[in-house]
Structure 1
Amino acid sequence: MSAVGKVSRVVPSSIGKLKELSWVNLEINQLQGLEFMNNLKNGTNLQKLSVASNQLEGEIPNSFGNFSVKLQVLYLGSNRLSGRFPPGIANLHYLSGLALESNCFTGPIPDWLGNLKTLQSQISLLEEALLDSNHFYAHIPRGLESLKVLQVLNISNNNLHGNIPREIFSIPTTRVVELSSNRLDGPLPIEMGNAKQLQSLHKKLGSAQLSHNLLSGSIPKSIGGLQDLQQLDLSFNNLEGEVPEIGIFSNITAVRIAGNTGLCGGAAMLQLPPCSSRRPSSTKHMVSVVLKVVIPFACIVSLAMGISALLFWRKRNERKSMSLTSFGRKFSKVSFNDLASATDGFSTYNLIGRGRYSSVYKGRLLQYGNVVAVKVFSLQTRGSQKSFITECHALRNVRHRNLVPILTACSSIDSKGDVFKALVYEFMSQGDLHMILYSTQNDENNSALIQIALAQRLSIVVDVAAALEYLHHNNQGTIVHCDLKPGNILLDDNMIAHVGDFGLARFKVDCTVSSSGDSTISSAINGTIGYVAPEYAAGGEVSTYGDVYSCGIVLFEIFLRKRPTDDMFKDGLNIATFVEMNFPDRISQVVDPELLENQNGISHETLVDMKEKDLECLHSVLNIGLCCTKPSPYERMDMREVAARLRKIKAAHLSSN
């Protein structure tokens, strides 16, 4: 039986009476509820079941293990299924194709993965086992060598840690192994270089496979001897040592190793630094002398000169800004007088925003295209100095179309002889998202911004997700924003969203959360109430999943036009639980009514019937918000998956209109 795109909401219970049914394909519908699984257990001849790309949510019932022992293919991908996968699947001895990708499954990858009799796919284009893009954690289970005919294994985009089991590369039929975006550590298995059958170590469309982990040690030279290896991506790990020059390593388009600062040598086209040779003992002695004597002496002299220079500079009323080479790129100099003149003496007329540690003024600097935003730090406020340094650090090397572009910085002395610090940004003409969401019709200056179409809101949330994806996974190291909210999201002339204000950011935090909640930085988060992840309030540690939670809250606010601090949210009810309570059947009652009104005067009731595609879009978007705001960080998506899903929803919405 095949009903792709033809079934809405609920599978009839009568399906359980079709005992001779061998094939059920209900992909790409709007199915809800899992009761049909209990009904299907009576189908003793069922061989294939596919309910991928629906709206199924909740935990798989334990009765799942009572399905027909003849079941060979099971596709449950792209739903919202959660919890631990029932161990009863181990009873399905003839299962040959398994797809659980893009759900919210959690817990360790079950041990049954190594106990299935024959895990391969009899579908010519889907010879794989897909468990990617979930929230599985702990180690990859041992015993995978029992999967004698496995060809493709994809467990990327989870929270797995520990070493890569060498058994993965001992399976004679394996062609594709996808382990990227986890927390796997330790060395690359030597067996990897012996996997003669391996053809690809990349995700779909050539994206990374072993990237964004914590792998260490050297790259086995034997990998270069794999003649059939077509693509290899080991980028953004902790690998070190000399890169082989043979085989795939001589093809710059087939190998990716960026983000491993300890690598050296290799083919010239890789542009790695040369590997240093061993120093003779006499050289080591000289180096020791330099380290113990010369350098400390130089530091003392430098410190004395620095103190003298500082005392001299503070006597001057006017001073050009420092070089700010710590930003990682060269900025032209700007002085206190330049900024004071640009903002009419920092007049209240030019004041466009005020925060905890700073005030923002609109100004005019001809060298930066006329209109700019000048962020002046209130250094008398405790924490503002740290906020300035943090924001400088965050913006040092990052560049992205959805981050507020920094133009220059000023660390100088003002007209009173006091320390002055400011950052200069591109001016965002449309203001911040909070202002746009809550501007009133009586405000003549903003009347054109009140109507925000569904497509525009989609674009904004896609832009925000893209910015966070970059911050969490860029090649300069992980940055956790820690204070994402509409007031920190600015929009330019084209209504493109830009994330700004990095005064509370944290750096070099692990991109994922381990099963024990380990992280590299403890949280003393001073984020904004309503947007802060619950684990921070409980003293938990900073991780990128805190930003994911905030992104989900902002997403809800964009489409509901309700603040998370609204008076209605009390007594345990928050904006996330409010959406969950009304999802999926009553989403038309909770989203911003403007999204379901017709600009040509069509009634709300008529519009709901006419715009089913818009409601489907809203359903998909709010579903992502729910996955982002799970109480436990282990159960949330990461920003790569959030951004990818939102881009897909936006593309589908635009194509349908």
Structure 2
Amino acid sequence: MTLLLHLSIFFTILFISLPSSHSSSSNDKNALLQIKKALNNPPLLSSWNPQTNFCTTWTGVECTNGRVTALTISSGEISGQIPAQVGDLLELRTLDFSYLTHLTGNIPHTITKLKYLDLLRLKQTNLSGYIPDFISELKSVTFLDLSFNQFTGPIPGSLSQMPKLGALQINDNKLTGSIPNSFGSFVGTVPNLYLFNNKLSGKVPESLSKYDFNAVDLSGNSFIGDGSVFFGRNKTTIRVDLSRNMFEFDLSKVKFARSIVSLDLSHNKISGKFPRELTKLRLEHFNVSYNHLCGKIPSGGLLQTFEPSAFSHNLCLCGTPLKAC
């Protein structure tokens, strides 16, 4: 009898101590209401009524098994900063604050509590300051988009420590410095790199040549040196845009992957002649204008299908679609 009594007490205590799904769901709801309050109760979130089901009727909220797994606040009159309470939505897979031109301040440290976060998009807002190192603590993120903001300072080298990162979009900011050397040692997936339209400079780390990037866009910066590290005959690269920089290398020595469909090298200091293997590429976009290239444009393939402007303003290029040699 005594044993049964003890067992009954034990299981009663165990049941009481276990967090219920209802309790967790209430925590999510409270966090959402705190977020709404911190954003000054904007009209965009007028559907966030405490009397209604947040999983089914609240704008931008998605749930799985009663827990908030996606929060998307986009394209509305939102002012203020990203509320710290986003870090209390512990089951979040997607966090998206986009097209909010009056959203200011920094990225809150509390997002490091979101251990299951897969997509972090803070795009086209007025966020500023440095991109924080602590973002690298988000080990489940596969897609990181911080584009079209006011971020300054260097690219955090710690981003290379995100093992599942498949795409890094930090373009259209005011970032300075060079590509971190640590990007030559990604711990996991080699991400697509979108660094265009910043104030970046310096040489591209040579160690990046060992990687097979799917897409690279460094355009609109002040990079110098050898940009050909992204090419290689045995790679599977699809898109490369190095335009509007100060890269200097000999195009005739570059080996191109057959997989490339988009190649923009315009507005640099690239010299040499056209390698014939460019005629073997199934190019959809191509531009080498405003460089120091010379010699005859090889015939065959798709090169002759592009406008003369794609070849213009070089030292002495000739042949179709330019003037005959």
Q: Structure 1: how far apart are the matches of 2:107 and 2:259?
A: 42
Q: Which amino acid aligns with 1:32?
A: T
Q: Identify the residue that residue 175 of structure 2 maps to in structure 1.
A: 105
Tell whether the 8 Å contact from 2:128 to 2:152 is kept in structure 1 after alignment. Answer: yes
Q: Which amino acid aligns with 2:199?
A: H
SS of 2:278's equivalent? helix
Unaligned runs of 5+ in 1: 121-127, 202-208, 275-657
SS of 1:270's equivalent? coil
Q: Which amino acid aligns with 2:148?
A: S
Q: Identify the residue that residue 104 of structure 2 maps to in structure 1.
A: 32
Report the number of matched residues: 252
- Counterpart of 1:72 (choices 142, 157, 165) is 142
Tell whether the 8 Å contact from 1:145 to 1:171 is kept in structure 2 after alignment. Answer: no
SS of 1:41's equivalent? helix
Q: Structure 2: how far apart are the matches of 1:114 and 1:34?
A: 28
Q: Identify the residue that residue 81 of structure 1 maps to in structure 2.
A: 151
Larger Rg: 1
- Counterpart of 2:305 (choices 236, 251, 255) is 251
SS of 2:98's equivalent? coil
Q: CA 1:98–1:254 in 2, change beyond 3 Å: closer, same or farther?
A: farther
Q: Structure 2: how far apart are the matches of 1:168 and 1:118?
A: 18
Q: Identify the residue that residue 132 of structure 2 maps to in structure 1.
A: 61
Q: CA 1:88–1:165 in 2, change beyond 3 Å: closer, same or farther?
A: same
- Counterpart of 2:194 (choices 130, 134, 152) is 130
Q: Structure 2: how far apart are the matches of 1:254 and 1:130?
A: 28
Identity %: 26
Q: Identify the residue that residue 463 of structure 1 maps to in structure 2.
A: none
Q: Structure 1: how far apart are the matches of 2:315 and 2:308?
A: 19
Tell whether the 8 Å contact from 2:279 to 2:303 is kept in structure 1 after alignment. Answer: yes
Offset at 1:231? 2.7
Q: TM-score, normalised by structure 2?
A: 0.72
Question: What do residues 306-336 of structure 1 show as CA deviations (whole Å, max 9, x unaligned)?
Answer: xxxxxxxxxxxxxxxxxxxxxxxxxxxxxxx
Tell whether the 8 Å contact from 1:145 to 1:168 is kept in structure 2 after alignment. Answer: yes
Q: Identify the residue that residue 182 of structure 1 maps to in structure 2.
A: 245
Q: CA 1:146–1:9 in 2, change beyond 3 Å: closer, same or farther?
A: farther
Q: Identify the residue that residue 200 of structure 1 maps to in structure 2.
A: 262
Q: Identify the residue that residue 141 of structure 1 maps to in structure 2.
A: 205
Tell whether the 8 Å contact from 1:147 to 1:171 is kept in structure 2 after alignment. Answer: no
Q: Identify the residue that residue 270 of structure 1 maps to in structure 2.
A: 322
Offset at 1:23? 0.8
Q: CA 1:57–1:102 in 2, change beyond 3 Å: closer, same or farther?
A: same
Q: CA 1:191–1:239 in 2, change beyond 3 Å: closer, same or farther?
A: closer
Q: Which amino acid aligns with 1:231?
A: H
- Counterpart of 1:16 (choices 87, 90, 97) is 87
Higher relative helix content: 1
Tell whether the 8 Å contact from 1:232 to 1:255 is kept in structure 2 after alignment. Answer: no
Q: Identify the residue that residue 213 of structure 1 maps to in structure 2.
A: 268
Q: Which amino acid aligns with 1:57?
A: S
Question: What do residues 383-436 of structure 1 show as CA deviations (whole Å, max 9, x unaligned)?
Answer: xxxxxxxxxxxxxxxxxxxxxxxxxxxxxxxxxxxxxxxxxxxxxxxxxxxxxx
Tell whether the 8 Å contact from 2:252 to 2:273 is kept in structure 1 after alignment. Answer: no
SS of 2:160's equivalent? helix
- Counterpart of 1:46 (choices 117, 122, 145) is 117
SS of 1:180's equivalent? coil
Q: Structure 2: how far apart are the matches of 1:170 and 1:223?
A: 11
Q: Which amino acid aligns with 2:176?
A: T
What are the equivalent positions in structure 2 for 1:415-430 lying under 5 Å apart?
A: none
Higher relative strand content: 2
Question: Over the residues paired in the alignment, what is the CA RMSD in angstroms?
Answer: 2.0
Q: TM-score, normalised by structure 1?
A: 0.37
The reply to whether residue 2 of structure 1 matches residue 2 of structure 2 is no
Unaligned runs of 5+ in 2: 1-70
SS of 1:214's equivalent? coil
Q: CA 1:252–1:13 in 2, change beyond 3 Å: closer, same or farther?
A: closer
Offset at 1:167? 4.1
Question: What do residues 6-44 of structure 1 show as CA deviations (whole Å, max 9, x unaligned)?
Answer: 4422122111112221110111112211142x0101111
Tell whether the 8 Å contact from 2:252 to 2:272 is kept in structure 1 after alignment. Answer: no
Tell whether the 8 Å contact from 2:144 to 2:169 is kept in structure 1 after alignment. Answer: yes
Q: CA 1:35–1:224 in 2, change beyond 3 Å: closer, same or farther?
A: closer
Q: Structure 1: how far apart are the matches of 2:155 and 2:106?
A: 14
SS of 1:16's equivalent? helix
Q: CA 1:97–1:166 in 2, change beyond 3 Å: closer, same or farther?
A: closer
